[in-house]
A and B are shown apart, each in its own frame.
Chain A
Amino acid sequence: MASVSPLQLSVFRGDAEGGEMVTYSVPVREGMVVLDAVLWAQANLAPDLAVRWNCKAAKCGSCAAEVNGFPRLLCKSPVADYGEEISVRPMAAFPVVRDLVTDVSWNYEVNQRIAPFTPSEADRDDPRAWRMQQVDVERAIEFRKCIECFLCQDVCHVLRNHGRKDAYFGPRFMVRMASLEMHPKDSLDRRPQLKGEAGVGYCNITKCCQEVCPEHIHITDNAIIPLKERMADEYFDPVRSLLRRLGGR
């Protein structure tokens, strides 16, 4: 291959106490992604450089970090898109464990607070009830593409800048709740939780989550906004609630 000047890869090295950016010189191969560069540095220059990764094919969502300050999957960021200098940092919305590895356990705690898929008693034991048309499952299918990389959680300013993990579940779990709420066979009413502890009201539709999603899920347009509208049906629509009361429901 024609000689290409090596990549200057600066990586955050440190832990919750603090750290510094360390620069590694990495030879460039055609088609190389940032994760390749990080792993090359790990194998050859910094054996203890901590980074999470698994599939290296953008299917598992392990290698979320910030490339030149922007939330990205390292395995899906071609080096060629960036030029000769790249900086890689851990996700800013979560506490650092070490180097590029962050403590994302909060997300798992949130997931536990969302009631699981619950079909109605009648449907559960009736095989005929499980005939579903493609158009009815399509919305849930979009949401279920989520690979839980948590880039949306990282970029969401409610969590990232305001630290309101106490008030808002974050875009990932709006998508999760939408996949349940819009599943044709889920029987639970999730609106009280949405308005309450899930805090859908904290989202102000600035759409950064949708911008960073590597699976191109329309997080805001297809999940959060429809959820806000469903919540509005219940809590912000006096006309509807009057009609409901008149209708005896």
Chain B
Amino acid sequence: MSLFSRKPDSLGEVVRRVKAGEQKFDPSIREFLDSFYANADARPRAIEQRPDSIDALHDAYVAAVAEHLARVYGLPIPEWSESHGNGLREPFFAGGLQSLKGVLVAESPTAFRRRLLFVSKDALSRPRM
């Protein structure tokens, strides 16, 4: 990758970069979201391919992102998201703030909540939306 390099255009590319050690997971997801929001025509393709596996938490998160974006943008929910990342056994609360757990339980989008992931309702928002 280089300066201002191309953003990952699919969740598969996010996972590939993470597994190759080219980029950390969170910034790669953020860049993927930038690409997803900016390129309406490419959205179905961005989530349709099943990514490789990283670990239970990351896999669940990737599947939740795919399902959530599909729901929000009226795309077919990828079949792979139903079977990918179902291994999380403990709830994960993003952000590390105890005081926000109640908020996150209340507002975490369905695609995240049903995978035991608790994030804010705007967790996938980006400035350029």
Tell me if chain B binds chain A: no
Binding site for A on B (CB under 8 A): none
